[in-house]
Amino acid sequence: MDERQQTAINNSVSERTPRPLMGSVLTFNLPQEISALRGEVEYQKGHNARTLIKHSEFRIVLVALNAGSSVNEHQTDQRVAVQTCSGHLRLHLADEVVNLHPDQLVSLDRNVTYRIEGVEESAFLMWVGWSKD
């Protein structure tokens, strides 16, 4: 285990709820996590997010999104997957729009530009591949 991984195990995510970002077993109550995100002031500005898992090869981020708000356009050199937990999302791609409802999952290859819009109050998990560089 490298120093960065050891730091993530021993340090908390933030002061809002101390907990490790990596470990051999991590469990989450997603409805409680979503409720907590919606209760923070950042959510009132449009969206709020929290990294749940941070390993050397991938990250999982939980995002709560207000209706009509969006996550700005992104592009990554890693693969991405988005799973809708609640609500209705629109995934805007270069040449199409994908509607995502609860329990739907979409996977994006490397270098795909996307923007995520909350059609209604929504929450989603985002898996992001991570380079070891």
Residues in the chain: 133
pLDDT at site 90: 97
Q: List, in order of start, the domains of the chain with CATH numbers.
A: 3-129 (2.60.120.10)
What mean pLDDT do residues 79-92 have? 96
Position 133 confidence tier, pLDDT thresholds 50, 70, 90: low
Which of 7-16, 74-83, 112-121 holds the top average pLDDT?
112-121
Among 22, 33, 21, 121, smallest CA distance to 69 is for: 121
Whether the CA torsion 69, 111, 105, 42 is positive or negative: it is negative
Q: 17-34 pLDDT, tens per residue?
A: 677 788 889 999 999 999
Q: State percent of the chain over pLDDT 90.
A: 70
